Structure 1
Amino acid sequence: MSENTEKESISGNGLTIPREVMVEMLAKNFDRLPEIDKKLFIYGNLYLGGNAAFAGLISNSLYRRALNISQGFIASSLPTAVLPFLVTAGLYNVLVSHTLLSGDLNCPTCAMTRGALVGVVGGGGYPILLALAVNIFLAAQLNTAPMPEKGNVLRHWVDVSRPILRQMRPVLLLQAFFGTYLGSRDFETYTKLARTTFGSGGEELKD
């Protein structure tokens, strides 16, 4: 393996810096960023996760009503809030925040797209599917709603979910918007960090 494949090139200064050194330099200069940029970069994934937990609680409430479930409120609310929060916050951290600080994400459009996907899939779609699964189990255990016959299972639950998905549409749009905004802001923060660390030539890092 050639030496060049193990290094990162910083355009504009004619320097070649090992990836490990580059990441360490970025981390050391993180505290020099404006306070609002640091807080949004560190805690933004938690805000997105909080929205996912809220979406999970809304979905859970809608499915409980649709399936006539009056018992087990805490048992259904805890997983539909906690799991979406953890999954969404973790996904955003891995796919956007950590990837930016490691120098592996140098495209603003990619950062916004990843943020939007995490918002919609992790913060919207996953809570809805999780709420459906939890409440199917409860409905079957408590016998509060008729279960579908064999061969008609998928269609039955699609019909049950259709009005709930319509009601959840604004939540999905909000998650997409917030994920896109967060990805855009975090990329701006990364750009400021690169400028602070490497000078004006550090605006653009190439693999």
Structure 2
Amino acid sequence: MAGELIEPTSEKKVHIASRDISEILKERFERLSAADQSFFQSGSMFLALNGSLCGLVANSLFRRVLNITQARIVSALPMAVLPFITTVVTYECLINRPLMEGDLNCATCAWIRGGVIGGVIGWFYPIFLALPLNAALATRYLTTPMPGQENMLRYWMMVCKPVYKKMKFAAILQIAFGAYLTSKSHEIYIKMLQLPQPGEDPKEIKDKI
């Protein structure tokens, strides 16, 4: 009927509530100290830089094992750039964005996510990326004898073993560093929750979330 009020659906209500929370958190973020804002926005960069370093080290180790001396820049460039970009994007999607939308309230969940990002994206991925790159270079420049099809898997496992062994410490470092960064980001998120609007109860936003 004309003039009849239509109640918003539950889906629309959830969308509106989520948008309101994001706007409130964004406003509170702008009221944080410059140091907190800088750390929250650039924390992923530190983890990404470590990921790039892991990529360069893994690339160097594979080149040494496979006796590759050619194409230094060609092999180093993607190993520095791709882990960096992947780590930043993953951190933004799994840590910063959920925090700014009020969807990551569990501190333990936050640092577990950070540890996984550090270990998988910041350590394993660069090594995994370096293997096919250097395998292609070794095949192209014939720097080392390649095995037959039946021994291919065993051969590459032998090639990877010393590389992974030498980079074990980097794995521990990346996992710990990722967990530390996300724990600090979550602390900053808690600070945002504790910043009230003028005349507003500090617990109001917590109740909304």
Is the CA contact (8 Å cut-off) linking 1:195 and 1:202 kept in structure 2? no
Alignment partner, residue 173 of structure 1: 172
Measured in 1, the distance between the counterparts of 2:76 and 2:64 equals: 13
**14, 33, 43: which is aligned to 1:7?**
14
Q: Deviations over 1:43-82 (max 9, x none)?
A: 0111111110000000000000000000100000001110
CA root-mean-square deviation: 2.0
Alignment partner of 1:201 is 2:172: no
Alignment partner, residue 47 of structure 1: 46
C-alpha distance 130-70 of structure 1, shift in aligned 2 (>3 A): same
Measured in 2, the distance between the counterparts of 1:185 and 1:195 equals: 15
Alignment partner, residue 13 of structure 1: none
In the alignment, residue 194 of structure 2 is paired with which amino acid?
R
Which ranges in structure 1 are unaligned for 5 or more consecutive residues?
9-16
Aligned to 2:148, what secondary structure does the other structure show?
Answer: coil
C-alpha distance 160-107 of structure 1, shift in aligned 2 (>3 A): same
Measured in 2, the distance between the counterparts of 1:123 and 1:146 equals: 31
Could you tell which deviates more after superposition, 159-168 or 146-155? 146-155
Q: Deviations over 1:161-200 (max 9, x none)?
A: 1111011011111100110001100011111111114754
Is the CA contact (8 Å cut-off) linking 1:30 and 1:193 kept in structure 2? yes
Alignment partner of 1:126 is 2:133: no
Alignment partner, residue 4 of structure 2: none
Measured in 2, the distance between the counterparts of 1:129 and 1:166 equals: 14
Measured in 2, the distance between the counterparts of 1:181 and 1:133 equals: 31
In the alignment, residue 190 of structure 2 is paired with which amino acid?
T
Measured in 2, the distance between the counterparts of 1:154 and 1:206 equals: 54
Is the CA contact (8 Å cut-off) linking 2:196 and 2:202 kept in structure 1? no
Alignment partner, residue 86 of structure 1: 85
Q: Which has the higher strand share?
A: 1
Equivalent pairs counted in the alignment come to 199
Could you tell which deviates more after superposition, 178-187 or 155-164? 155-164
TM-score, normalised to structure 2, is 0.89
Matches within 5 A, 1:183-202: 183-197=182-196, 199-201=201-203
In the alignment, residue 7 of structure 1 is paired with which amino acid?
V
Is the CA contact (8 Å cut-off) linking 2:21 and 2:208 kept in structure 1? no
Measured in 1, the distance between the counterparts of 2:153 and 2:98 equals: 37
TM-score, normalised to structure 1, is 0.89
Alignment partner, residue 59 of structure 2: 60
In the alignment, residue 86 of structure 1 is paired with which amino acid?
I
Aligned to 1:152, what secondary structure does the other structure show?
Answer: helix
In the alignment, residue 102 of structure 1 is paired with which amino acid?
E
In the alignment, residue 157 of structure 1 is paired with which amino acid?
W
Measured in 1, the distance between the counterparts of 2:69 and 2:141 equals: 9
Is the CA contact (8 Å cut-off) linking 2:21 and 2:205 kept in structure 1? no
